[in-house]
Amino acid sequence: MSQRPIPNVPALLALPEAPKGDDIVGSGQGLHLYKSRITHRWCQDFKSERGQEKNTMPAVGFTVVVLKGGDVEKDGQIVRLPPPSTSGDPSIPFTFYEDVGAKFGIDQGFTLKDLNGVPIDSYEDLESAYTVIVQPAEQRYNKIPGPRGRPVIGNLYDVTPDPLIQMRQLHTDFGPIVHLNVFGRDFVSTNDPMYAEIFAKDGEYFTKKILGILSEVKPVGGQGLFTTNTDDPDWKLAHKLLMPAFSPKAIKRYTVEMGEIAQSAAKVFDHFAQTDQEVALDFWTTCLTFETIGKIGFGFDFHLIDGPDVKVHPFISAMAFTLNEGRARSNRPQFMKYLPTSANAQYERELKLMQTTVEEVLKARKESPDAKDSEKDLLGFMLNAVDSDSGSSMTDLLIRDQVITFLIAGHETTSNTLAWTFFELSRYPAVLQKCLQEIVDVGITEDGIPTSQQVNQLKYIECCLKETLRIHSPVRGLVKECLKDIVLPGDYLIKEGQMVVIGVDQIHHNPAIYENPEEYNPDRFLPENENQRSLYSWLPFSTGPRGCLGRPFALQEAIIVTAIWLRKFVITPVTPNEVRYDPRALTTRPLNLKVKISKRTELPERSVAGSPQKITTVDAEASQVIVPSVKVGSIPFPPLTVVYGSNTGTAQDFASTIAKSAKKVGFEKLTLKTLDDYVAVRTSEKDSALTAAETLMGVNLEEIVVVVSATYNGYPPENAVKFDKWLDQPEIALAQPFKRAGYAVFGCGNSQWRTFQAFPQKIDESLEKLGGTRLVAAGKGDATQDMEHSFHEFMTELWATVVQTFGGDKAELSKGIGEISATDIDGVDVCVITPDKTEKWAAARLNTNNFYPAKIVVNEELMSNPAEASIRHVEIELAPENSKYAPGDHIEVYPVNDSALVDSVIRALGLVPDATFEINASEDITGRSLAAVINGPCTVKNALTYYADLTAPPTRSLLKVCADRLPKSESHSAVLRKLADPGCKEEFERFVSLYRTVYELIEAFPHAAKQLKLKGVLSVIQAISPRRYSIASAVRPGKENIAALTVGVVADRVKNPNSENIKTYYGLSSGFIARSTPTPAHISARVLRVKDTFRLPADPSTPLVMICGGTGLAPFLGFLQHRELTGAKGEAHLYFGCRTAGHCIYQKQVEVWEANGTLTKRHVAYSRHPEEPKTYVQDLLLRDGAMLWSLAKKGAVLYVCGNASKLAKDVRAAVEEIAAQIGGLSPEEAAKHVQELQDAGRYNEDVWG
């Protein structure tokens, strides 16, 4: 194959020259590139700076792929290279084509070329082409245009925070049909009546499906028309039978009652007119529409317009809750609605209340003299309607669901329309004058009820309402699903299953249909103008088979109310320029529409006695007023409180990131504190009851609380203990202190632990019980996976929800969720200290992160073959102020990096080891970076020796900063930048599996590393976290400040997939301890007290059962030593698991304790004994089940210490099995029994991941 030149483009590895055979083709500092005979893949051969071993690592199997004509930097996508064929097939695996097609949405074939236009035909071609150009085959169909999305969020920025204005602009930019994707929800939108007509006609190609939020309204609406699929028999029957109920003849029967209800509400307005108070107009229009549907729909009075002081009926309160909860459910994982949470329980209660209320009304009607009166109201009609063809009638349950549906669908749409109509009339006085003239001409009196004839004559008011419905359509879009593939005009293919949206608002504001669409001009709906437009150019009630049956009902109600209220009152917005759409509402509900009401004292003279004036166009000169178009509002962000519970600093760091991000999003009032500090604030606050407006229209959130917390063995972190106890207080639950607060919870943990997310989950559930509004589903960070990615997804959804709820600025939202733990290097000021500053120069050399001076006085190997497995017995002499401990406590050790490794990293970074500096860091710097933890003068070598975690996995921040410091033309830049992208999850995980540590990344990419400079190093490299070890001793006379540890030396041996070389990765802390010879060796360590549960019982006669494996024996050595010193002789059993007899550590000492009665009996399980069957500690527990059950009945305390994912889970399962088989409990009872033991302090765990 001819050799192609290697272009200077973004790529993972820069080759100085083309490869020749199997020779080494390039080299750098500690880096060689060669082509392997075995796999034909590029590999990196790292030669250890210490010269002890040669470690060969595979090249990262990624390439940057871009569509022809696209920009590599902006449009390029990272695609992982599949492994080569094991059969020697030179072709490119099909999976690569699938991945590329998925990345770009291509399913009609394409070819691959390099940057020189040379076809890529083989796997070898693919490997050597660092950037791949994708050339799609000639397209049969046109691609539906649309903006390019971003990872995870898709087109969120394109439709948030003002979906109305932004969607209109998208159609302006891309045309009548636009493809979008938001958080994985894919849809096609149109603002063209031609496409709307195709989508709206239910039939062969499109239909309404109950999807998205409608699927969450379905449990409330049941089998009602609004929440049932078109092909459902119940929908077909109800639709057919109900059509006559909304015929012109039927609607006329409701005229008088509609007028009476409007006049009743007018009496409330009379009160407001006398008191001159500000009134929330949309609240009162909502009360009115509820009353109208309640009385006319099923003869029920909610008493919402009896007077100015409204008491919300339980039915209305229940409906408000279920609808709000349905909206919240649509933004959560589906499984959450099946969990036993307080919100789910309340949802079921409120739903049952609604259903029962309607069922009781239905039952009473059927037993009343009016049971057969089909003309009394809608309920009477439904009870007596019979299908003439089939003889079928609606069941009581179907009628119940229709009544609830009428209330859901009818109250807010008409309410919004009325409120917006009065608002617009206040802005267009000439239009208002025309309406008043019509009211007078028709003969409507101040206290009279309009007749059907008069209502029919109010043609211009009807035009006004239609224009209101055009500009402020309550329904923003109509969702349909494609039933089978169809090619639309313009050769656009819509595939089966595709969701399409008829953009009602976008059609109504399309300047090609409505000239000056933002102008309020009722003349558009004069017959001669309306007839010139498509039927699909005005769709507030939809159209076709799924068109709203209640359209004539809603229009008549709105006409009557408008006429009566205009006749009686002058309704004036207080701050018209501040009126917006409420971002919290699903419909176009007004925000800030406060009005003042006064009695109307002047009316125009009647034009012609006895007959209304013919409709004429409003005088153009008189109607010209400058009014701004209404946009989605922005409610000021409430105060934000970010609270955390953290032991190791991870949760605190994430909380700091959220706080930093919140400032960029736009929060001005911001607090960051521990959960325990938060308790005092919450306890001192007083909360008032919810108002009627809050119940009916939704609660105004006065605070947002974001919680980030870890958990330890299911317990709260050390700085969250008070908060945990506060949550459990019964009086707190009664006070409902979070009823005006929105909240979100992110938990940090390790899924290997049985108690994974236990405490964060408790917080999430408790805040809901305390009245809080869950903004997003709880985030779950798992240390065994990509926790940064999980955190970024959580933060992205949180800010997106906040901006959608309160409004805000798109640019600020973008800043807030742009990067994972984005490090602001500009916030780090590094001040160089020169040798002439002698005091600081000297202090820097003493800065060794040693806040807890201690020394190792004993460091002995316990294993006969440490090369196979190394376990060390270590004794630490603690400083007197840090030496008080009890058996069961922990020692926290601050490890130190290997000096040879530090020297190697310093060389790779191009730094001077003796360079001395001091840091001034802003509060925005991430809390776990070196810049945040190094205090005072320090040298480069000390910073990288005592503070920097060089063995930690590379973070996205490190990759991002490395990429940003390189020129865009640099070969590594594009790949590193894309790997750092939050949406690049799988590729990043693979990258980190190949470059497991910071120092490997630095050595692999020396040119990029050198660009970091000291400032970048201090900003993005994380600080060392202390490691915890169980104390393996008791306090002994004469050795009160000596504590023993049992340390298993972590040595992870990894085989290079492309060679036979093995690389060993030592644990940072255990490796440090193993190196800390000869003794005494100075270290930094302190005692950490554990919870009282992992303690010996106060009564020495209490039976003990100690279960462990390997180094999990440590705390029990302290227990047994203490028992020996105190002479305790109560029954005590030790269950110990290890591989073979050679792994049975401390055997002689344990045998001594068994001989002198300190230990009743030791039980050893060998999992790899050559002469015995494989046995684990749980097997021995089951064997001794009867004895252990007997001990439990005597009050025995059980302790478990070992691996969380294996030993702890298996032991618990065994104990539950004993409770079931010996104790006769059911599996559920057994699990509950063990949990009760744990809650009582009789089943205790000290486990690790």
Q: What is the 3-state secondary structure (H, E, C) of 48-109?
A: CCCCCCEEEEECCCEEEEEECCCCHHHHCEEEECCCCCCCCCCCCCHHHHHHHHHHHCCCCC
Residues 43/34, Cβ–Cβ less than 8 Å: yes
How many CB atoms within 10 Å of residue 762?
Answer: 19
Which is it for strands 1081-1088 and 1104-1109: parallel, antiparallel or unpaired? unpaired
1051: part of which helix (H) or strand (E)? Answer: strand 1051-1055
Cα angle, residue 620 at apex, residues 614 and 621 outer, rounded to 5°: 125
CA separation for the pair 1143, 876 (Å, rounded): 23
* pLDDT the model gives residue 19: 32
For the cut 50, the answer to whether the pLDDT of residue 620 exceeds it is no
**Torsional class of 596: left (φ above 0), alpha (ψ -120 to 50), beta (otherwise):** beta
Q: Which of 1094, 1113, 1049 is nearest to 885 (CA)?
A: 1094
Token readout for 778 is 């709880």
Integer-rounded Cα Rg, in Å, for the chain is: 37
Q: Please, which residues have CB within 8 angstroms of residue 139's CB and are 6 or more apart in sequence?
A: 108
For the cut 80, the answer to whether the pLDDT of residue 593 exceeds it is yes
Token readout for 37 is 């005979």
Residues 671/639, Cβ–Cβ less than 8 Å: yes
DSSP structural state of residue 154: B
For the cut 60, the answer to whether the pLDDT of residue 50 exceeds it is no
Across residues 683-687, what is the average pLDDT?
A: 58
Could you tell me the sign of the dihedral formed by the alpha carbons of 373, 376, 382, 385, in that order? Answer: positive
Q: Across-strand partners of 1001?
A: none
Asked, as a colleague might, if the bond just before 1080 is cis with ω within 30 of 0, I would say yes
Token readout for 196 is 């709307």
* Confidence class for position 622, pLDDT limits 50, 70, 90: very low
Across residues 518-539, what is the average pLDDT?
A: 94
Burial category of 94 from C-beta neighbours within 10 Å (exposed 0-12, middle 13-18, buried 19 and up)? exposed
CA separation for the pair 249, 1038 (Å, rounded): 103
Instruction: Give me the chain's average pLDDT, please.
Output: 84
What pLDDT digit, counting tens, does each position of 387-414 carry? 988 999 999 999 999 898 888 877 888 9
CA separation for the pair 1111, 1117 (Å, rounded): 10
What pLDDT digit, counting tens, does each position of 627-674 carry? 556 766 567 888 999 999 988 778 988 998 899 888 888 888 999 999
Q: Which of 16-20, 324-328, 595-599 has the lowest mean pLDDT?
A: 16-20
Angle of the 758-769 helix axis to the 342-366 helix axis, nearest 10: 40
Following DSSP, what letter does each residue of 990-1023 receive, concatenated? HHHHHS-SHHHHHHH-HHHHHTTHHHHHHHHSBB
897-to-444, 817, 848, 1075 alpha-carbon distances in Å: 90, 34, 11, 10
* pLDDT the model gives residue 1059: 55
Q: Which of 591, 502, 656 is nearest to 194 (CA)?
A: 502
Q: Which of 1247, 1186, 1192, 1195 is nearest to 1222 (CA)?
A: 1186
218-to-401, 747, 775 alpha-carbon distances in Å: 10, 32, 21
What pLDDT digit, counting tens, does each position of 893-937 carry? 999 999 999 999 999 999 999 999 999 876 667 667 888 889 999
737-to-325, 350, 716, 731 alpha-carbon distances in Å: 19, 21, 21, 10
The pLDDT > 70 percentage for the chain reads 88
Residues 976/1007, Cβ–Cβ less than 8 Å: no
Across residues 490-498, what is the average pLDDT?
A: 92
How many CB atoms within 10 Å of residue 722?
Answer: 17
pTM above 0.75, yes or no: no
H runs (alpha helix) in 770-786: none
244-to-170, 250, 374 alpha-carbon distances in Å: 41, 7, 11
Q: Coil, strand, or helix at residue 815? A: helix
Which is it for strands 890-894 and 1081-1088: parallel, antiparallel or unpaired? antiparallel
Token readout for 3 is 């050799």
* Confidence class for position 692, pLDDT limits 50, 70, 90: confident
The pLDDT > 90 percentage for the chain reads 48
Q: Please, which residues have CB within 8 angstroms of residue 1019's CB and are 6 or more apart in sequence?
A: 823, 824, 825, 827, 828, 925, 929, 930, 931, 961
* Confidence class for position 2, pLDDT limits 50, 70, 90: very low
For the cut 60, the answer to whether the pLDDT of residue 44 exceeds it is no
Q: Which of 30, 38, 33, 37 is nearest to 54 (CA)?
A: 30
Q: Across-strand partners of 301?
A: none
Following DSSP, what letter does each residue of 912-979 receive, concatenated? -TT-EEEEEE-TTS-TTBHHHH--S-EEHHHIIIIIB-TTSPPPHHHHHHHHHTS-TTSTTHHHHHHH
CA separation for the pair 254, 246 (Å, rounded): 10
What pLDDT digit, counting tens, does each position of 1041-1061 carry? 999 999 999 988 887 655 567
Residues 1087/884, Cβ–Cβ less than 8 Å: yes
